[in-house]
Amino acid sequence: MDDALKAVEMYDYRLNAPYKLSGGQKQRIAIAGIIAMQPECIVLDEPTAMLDPRGREEVLRTIHKLNQEKGITIVLITHYMDEAVQASRVVVMDNGQILLQGTPEEVFAHVELLKKHKLDVPQATELIYRLRASGYPLPECVLNEEDCVAALERILKEPVGDEFSGKK
């Protein structure tokens, strides 16, 4: 169990009473209990629900570490699309049926189809989608804040026909 607590960076909290732990820390302790069983695959259903941003970050960092360092396959069920884009493969389900599957880039390139099924897309994807619809020359699929900022910086640096609109 000590190794499992170290894997989720909770070893220093092993003697703390549970009520003294944050929501993210409690989730990481729960994940440590699973790791102690040495599974090849872990299915996590909404593991960041009800957590503050810091707790969400802690849990996601732990999940990535388990996958990268321990080789554990993680199946993450989430409604947070900003979490889904961090996966190597995304499966979108609607009413028990697979709607789309592939890399995050492949899946989130279908903004209109996702919206038609009342599903969200990552915030960066939504912003770029709306700007593209308004005529701005932006890439088709941007998944995260860093790529969104880079895409916006590129068009802001380009010479423009109408200096107020940013459109060519």
Indicate the pLDDT class of residue 59, thresholds 50, 70 and 90. Answer: confident
Could you tell me the fold of the domain covering 1-78? Answer: Rossmann fold (3.40.50)
Minimal CA–CA distance to 155: which of 144, 145, 141, 165? 165
- Residue 167: band (very low, low, confident or very high) from pLDDT cuts 50, 70, 90: low
Check pLDDT > 90 for residue 3.
Answer: no
Between strands 73-77 and 41-45, the pairing is parallel
Q: Is the pTM of this model over 0.75?
A: no
Query: Residue 12 — very low, low, confident or very high, per pLDDT cuts 50/70/90?
Result: confident
Residues of CATH 3.40.50.300 domain(s) within the chain?
1-78
Nearest-10 crossing angle of helices 23-35, 53-70: 20
Element (H, E) at 100: strand 97-102
**Residue 162 token pair:** 């109408």
Q: What is the mean pLDDT of residues 59-77?
A: 90
pLDDT reading at 37 higher than 90: no
How far apart, in whole angstroms, are the C-alpha atoms of residue 53 and residue 143? 19
For the segment 55-65, the average pLDDT, to the nearest whole number, is 86
Q: Is the pLDDT of residue 159 over 60?
A: yes
pLDDT at 56: 85
Residue 18 pLDDT more than 90? Answer: no
HSE-up of residue 27 (Cα within 13 Å, Cβ side): 22
Helix (H, G, I), strand (E, B) or coil at 46: coil
DSSP structural state of residue 87: S
* The pLDDT of residue 113 is above 60: yes
pLDDT at 137 over 70: yes
- Residues 38, 80: Cα–Cα separation, whole Å: 27
What per-residue confidence (pLDDT) applies to 38?
82
Cα–Cα distance measured from residue 57 to residue 147, given in angstroms and rounded to the nearest whole number: 19
pLDDT at site 51 = 80
Angle at the Cα of 126 from the Cα atoms of 123 and 132, rounded to 5 degrees: 145
Residue 166 pLDDT grade (very low, low, confident, very high; cuts 50, 70, 90): low
What is the model's pLDDT at position 131? Answer: 94
On the question of pLDDT at 162 being above 70, the answer is no
